[in-house]
Structure 1
Amino acid sequence: MRIVYIHQYYCNPGMAGGIRSYEQARRLVARGHTVDVITTDITPGARDLGWRTTDEDGVTVHWFRVPYNNNMSYARRIRAFAEFMILATAKAARLRADLVFATSTPLTVAVPGVIAAKLRRAPFVFEVRDLWPEVPIEMGALRNPVVQRLAGGLASFAYRNASEVIALSPGMAAGVVARRPGTPTTVIPNAADLDLFAVDEERVRRFRESHDWLGDRPLLVYTGALGVVNGVEYLVRAMRRARELDSDVRFLIVGHGREWEPTKALAAELGLLGDVVHMWEKVPKSELPVILGAATMSSSTVRPIRGLWDNSANKFFDALAASRPIAINYGGWQADLLTETGAGLVLDPEDTDEAGYQLVRHLRDEVWLKRAREAAYRLAVERFSRDLLFEEFEAVLNRSARRKKQSVQS
C-alpha cells in the first residue's frame, strides 16, 4: 500500500522525543509498503519557507518548519496547530495514497487526514495519543464553552470518518467509544524498544564513573517532558524527604518544557540542586539507553487529575525496555500493571514524604530490585515489544484497507 502518515511532531532517534511513528513507518516500509510522513521541523533556527524532504530508512519524510515548544502560550500553540493543519492538508492532497493515517495530538491532524482520504477515496485510520478535549477540559485549560463544543465536534468528526481508531490505552479507547459509540477501536499502547535499550555494562560503568556526584550511588531518573501535566516537582519534594533518610540517593531529571525553570527553582530552594537533584536538558533518544542503564529506578508522574491516569507515556515503556523498575504517582491501567507484576512502585500522589520514604526503601532493597527488573523485562518482551505491537498496528491498516475495498465492490 501507499500510506500517507500525518504526525505533527515526528521524531527519529537522533532527535529528542518519542519515536513511535519512526519505528512504525520504517517497519511498514520493510513489509513492502510505501510511506510518506508529513510533519513539522521544530528545531531552533531561521525559518525557511517550503517543504524539505528526507529519506529515513526508506521512509520519505516531508518537513515544514513550524515553530513550537512547550513554553508557548495556548494561543500560540493553537496558531501552530492551525498552520500545520492547513499545510498538511495541501501536502497530503497532492500525494498518492491507498490509506491515510493520522496520529494526534493535536486533534487538528484529523482534518488533513480526512480530506486526503476522501480525495483519494482511501480509508482513514486515526490514532489517539491523548483524549481531547476531555483531558484539557478536566485540567481547566479549555474553559470557553464555545471552544469546548468546537473541540468536541472535531473529535466526533475524526472518529466518525475513521475506518478504525487506534487508542494508546484502555481509558482512551473507552473515551472514544463514549463519544462515538460503535467506532471500531483497537488499543495499541506505546512500545518497548528492546534492541535500542540493550546497553553494554561497560558503557554504564563509564557513565557512572564520569559523574562524581553519582558513582555507585542509587539513582532515580525522570526522562521526558516537564510540562504542566507532568508535575515533576512532586519528585523533587519527595527527594527532600529521601535525603533526610539517605543522603546518597540521587535524582536525575532529563527533559524540557514549561516547568523546567520552576522545577529547577524549587530544587534550589529546597537545597537539593547540584547535590541530590541534577537536571539536564533534553537529549536525543539514542542517548537515553545509557542513562536508563545507569538508573536504579525510573519514574513517571502526572498531576492528580483522573483523566491523566489514561496516559501511555514513552518513559514508562522505555523503563521496561531497559529492565528498570518504574515509580509512578497515579492510578489506572499502568498502576494495575505494576501492582500485578511487581515491576515498579505506585506512590501516594498526595504525600511526598511517604513517597520519599518508599523510594529510599526500594532503591536500597537489592532483592526487590532484582525481582522488579525481571518483571519489567518480562513485560517488555511478552506484552509491549515494538515488534509484537507492530503486528497489531499493521493488522489495523490491512483490515481498514480490506473494508474499504469490500465497500467499493459492493
Structure 2
Amino acid sequence: MEVKILLVNQYAIPPQQAGPMRHFTLARELVQLGHDVTIVASSFDHVTRQETRLRPHEKHQVELIDGVRFLWLRTPPYSGNGLARIWNMLVFTARVWQGMGAQSLGRPDVIIGSSPHLFGALGAEIRARHLRVPFVLEVRDLWPQSLVDLANMSERHPIVLALEVIERYLYRRARRIIALLPGASEPMVAKGAKRAKIVWIPNGVDLAILPASNASPQGAFTLMYAGTHGLANGLDLVLDGAKLLLQDTSSPKVRFILLGDGPNKAHLMERVRAEGLTNVEFLAAVPKNQVYALLQQAHGFLLILKDSPVFRWGVSPNKLFDYFAMGRPVLFGVNTPYNPVAESGAGLTFAPGDPAAFVAAVKELASRSVAERTAMGEAGQKHVREHYDFQRLALKLEATLQDVLRGEGTADVSQHGSSKT
C-alpha cells in the first residue's frame, strides 16, 4: 500500500550539507519502497547560519534532491541561542500549521512531526488535525528534560513548564511515538504516553555511501571526534587528556582530530592555542557525502558526552554508527546504562568527565595490537549491519506507518537486545 507521507523536521538537510542525514536517508528508502514522501524543513541552515535554498523574494520552494522531495520554508535568521532563534522556531511552526507551500502537494495520508524542538512537532500536529489525518510524533531528544539536565534550567522555569505542557499534549495526540533513545519509553509513560504507542527506531547509517576502500592510516596513533562541538559533547575532556599526554614523556604519541562545528568550537580552539596543545587539530564540518574520506584518517574514534543524568535513557548519535561502519574501535565515555560499544565489543569504555580515565583508555587502546583493534572494528561493523542499517530501519518505519493507517496497535518498545552494562 502506497503511503503519502509529510515529514516535518526544521533541520532536515540533503547530503550536500553538513549535518545529520536521518530523515533524508529514511525518506529515500521509503521512496524506493514505493511511497510518496515530502520533507518539510527550513531553508535557513542551522550549521552555517546561512540561507541556503531560497532567493530573496521566495517564501517557499519545492525541490527534488536525489529522488527526495523537500518543501523549503523561509524562516528568519539567527546567530545564537537567544530570542532570535526562538522566533525562528515559532515562524517555522506557524508556516507548517498554515500549510505554506503544501497546497500543490495534495493531502497526505500521515504527518510525522519530529523534535528536538517541540514547536515544530506541535505545528505538524495542528496541520494533521486540520487535514484530519493521523499524526506520528518522533522524539529525538527528551525535551524539556534536556534543558534541565544539560542547561541547568529549573524545572519550574516558565519555558520548561510551557514545553512540558506541549510534550504531554503531543504524547496524547500522537497515534504512534517514535523514540530514538532505547530507554525513552519510561520517561514518556511517566508523562502520560501510552506504552503501546511507542516504537524504537534509532539513528543509523547509510551503508550504500561508505567508501569502497578503507585503508588503515599511517603515522602517529590518531583518534578522531566527528560531530557537533556543543554543550552536551564535553569536548574539553579531550583537551584535558591531550594536555596530560603531552606532559607524560613516557606516553605513546597520540594525535587528536576534532571534526565539525558548533557553539563551543571557538572556545576549544582558543584553549588549544593558549595551552600549546600541539597534539590537537581541528577540521571544518563537511557534507555527509564527504565525511567518510576524513574518517579514514583515524585509528579510532571518540564518543564523548557530558556527564549528565539525561543520558540515563540511552543515546543514539549518528556519529557512533558512522564510527562502527568504518571498522575502527571506539572509545565510549557516556554515563548511560545503554552502551552499544560494550554490547558489541567494538571498543573500550571510560568514565565521562574524568581526564585520568580518558587518558588511561587512550593508552590502552594505543597499546593494543593491530589485530585486536581490527577485531574491535569488525565487531562494530557487524553490529551496525545487523541493527542500525537505514534500510532495515526504513522497513520498520514503513510497517509502523501502515499499522497506523490500518488502525492497528503496537507494543514494540524493544531495544535490539539492549542489555544494561
- 1:56 matched to which residue of 2? 65
1:279 CA displacement: 0.5
Q: Secondary structure at the match of 2:365?
A: helix
- 1:171 matched to which residue of 2? 183
1:287 and 1:68, CA in 2 relative to 1: closer, same or farther beyond 3 A? Answer: farther
Deviations 1:262-312 (A, max 9, x none): 11112223311xx31110121111111112222111112211111035321
Please give the alpha-carbon distance, in whole angstroms, between the structure 1 residues aligned to 2:261 and 2:69: 28
1:182 CA displacement: 1.6
Please give the alpha-carbon distance, in whole angstroms, between the structure 1 residues aligned to 2:281 and 2:69: 38
- 1:41 matched to which residue of 2? 43
Asked if residue 81 in structure 1 is aligned to residue 89 in structure 2, the reply is yes
**Residue of structure 2 aligned with 1:270, choices 275, 294, 312:** 275
Deviations 1:79-100 (A, max 9, x none): 1111110111122673411111
Asked if residue 330 in structure 1 is aligned to residue 334 in structure 2, the reply is yes
1:317 CA displacement: 0.9
Q: Which runs of no fewer than 5 residues in structure 1 stay unpaired?
A: 209-214, 406-410
- 1:217 matched to which residue of 2? 220
1:67 CA displacement: 5.0
1:334 CA displacement: 4.2
For normalisation by structure 1, the TM-score amounts to: 0.89
**Residue of structure 2 aligned with 1:147, choices 135, 143, 159:** 159
Bigger mean CA deviation after superposition, 93-102 or 158-167: 93-102
Higher helix share goes to which structure?
A: 1
1:36 and 1:192, CA in 2 relative to 1: closer, same or farther beyond 3 A? Answer: closer
1:173 and 1:166, CA in 2 relative to 1: closer, same or farther beyond 3 A? Answer: same
Asked if residue 138 in structure 1 is aligned to residue 142 in structure 2, the reply is no
Asked if residue 100 in structure 1 is aligned to residue 103 in structure 2, the reply is no
- The question of whether the paired residues in 1 share the 8 Å contact of 2:114 and 2:138 is answered with yes
1:29 and 1:77, CA in 2 relative to 1: closer, same or farther beyond 3 A? Answer: same
Deviations 1:328-366 (A, max 9, x none): 21132542x322332122112232123113212202312
Please give the alpha-carbon distance, in whole angstroms, between the structure 1 residues aligned to 2:281 and 2:29: 37
- The question of whether the paired residues in 2 share the 8 Å contact of 1:292 and 1:324 is answered with no
1:384 CA displacement: 1.3
1:385 CA displacement: 1.2
Asked if residue 185 in structure 1 is aligned to residue 194 in structure 2, the reply is no
Q: Secondary structure at the match of 1:195?
A: helix
1:354 and 1:48, CA in 2 relative to 1: closer, same or farther beyond 3 A? Answer: farther
- The question of whether the paired residues in 2 share the 8 Å contact of 1:127 and 1:166 is answered with yes
1:333 and 1:324, CA in 2 relative to 1: closer, same or farther beyond 3 A? Answer: farther
- The question of whether the paired residues in 2 share the 8 Å contact of 1:300 and 1:329 is answered with yes
Deviations 1:360-390 (A, max 9, x none): 2202312331221111011011111111111
- The question of whether the paired residues in 1 share the 8 Å contact of 2:8 and 2:112 is answered with yes
Bigger mean CA deviation after superposition, 294-303 or 243-252: 243-252
Bigger mean CA deviation after superposition, 81-90 or 44-53: 44-53
**Residue of structure 1 aligned with 2:360, choices 357, 360, 364:** 357
The one-letter code of the counterpart of 1:151 is L
Asked if residue 228 in structure 1 is aligned to residue 231 in structure 2, the reply is yes
Please give the alpha-carbon distance, in whole angstroms, between the structure 2 residues aligned to 1:170 and 1:160: 20
Please give the alpha-carbon distance, in whole angstroms, between the structure 1 residues aligned to 2:20 and 2:362: 26
Asked if residue 22 in structure 1 is aligned to residue 24 in structure 2, the reply is yes
Q: Secondary structure at the match of 2:99?
A: helix
1:49 CA displacement: 4.1
1:374 and 1:174, CA in 2 relative to 1: closer, same or farther beyond 3 A? Answer: same
Please give the alpha-carbon distance, in whole angstroms, between the structure 2 residues aligned to 1:64 and 1:47: 12
- 1:300 matched to which residue of 2? 303
- 1:408 matched to which residue of 2? none
The one-letter code of the counterpart of 1:264 is M
- 1:239 matched to which residue of 2? 242
Please give the alpha-carbon distance, in whole angstroms, between the structure 1 residues aligned to 2:190 and 2:283: 40
- 1:65 matched to which residue of 2? 74
Deviations 1:148-207 (A, max 9, x none): 221101001111111000000122232222211424101111112222223424xx57xx
- 2:419 matched to which residue of 1? none
Please give the alpha-carbon distance, in whole angstroms, between the structure 2 residues aligned to 1:315 and 1:233: 18
Asked if residue 159 in structure 1 is aligned to residue 159 in structure 2, the reply is no
1:47 CA displacement: 5.3
Please give the alpha-carbon distance, in whole angstroms, between the structure 2 residues aligned to 1:277 and 1:333: 30
Please give the alpha-carbon distance, in whole angstroms, between the structure 2 residues aligned to 1:25 and 1:75: 32
Please give the alpha-carbon distance, in whole angstroms, between the structure 1 residues aligned to 2:9 and 2:334: 28
Bigger mean CA deviation after superposition, 122-131 or 239-248: 239-248
1:392 and 1:332, CA in 2 relative to 1: closer, same or farther beyond 3 A? Answer: same
- The question of whether the paired residues in 1 share the 8 Å contact of 2:168 and 2:191 is answered with yes
Q: Secondary structure at the match of 1:108?
A: helix
Q: Secondary structure at the match of 1:258?
A: coil
- 1:399 matched to which residue of 2? 403
Asked if residue 390 in structure 1 is aligned to residue 394 in structure 2, the reply is yes
Deviations 1:55-113 (A, max 9, x none): 023322111233567x5133222111111101111226734111111111111122221
Asked if residue 121 in structure 1 is aligned to residue 132 in structure 2, the reply is yes
For normalisation by structure 2, the TM-score amounts to: 0.87
Please give the alpha-carbon distance, in whole angstroms, between the structure 1 residues aligned to 2:99 and 2:66: 21
Q: Secondary structure at the match of 2:378?
A: helix
Q: Secondary structure at the match of 2:203?
A: coil
1:12 CA displacement: 1.4
Please give the alpha-carbon distance, in whole angstroms, between the structure 2 residues aligned to 1:323 and 1:306: 30
1:239 CA displacement: 1.6
Q: Secondary structure at the match of 1:298?
A: strand
- 1:283 matched to which residue of 2? 286
Identity %: 25
**Residue of structure 1 aligned with 2:325, choices 321, 326, 333:** 321
- 1:379 matched to which residue of 2? 383
Q: Secondary structure at the match of 2:42?
A: strand
**Residue of structure 2 aligned with 1:110, choices 100, 109, 121:** 121
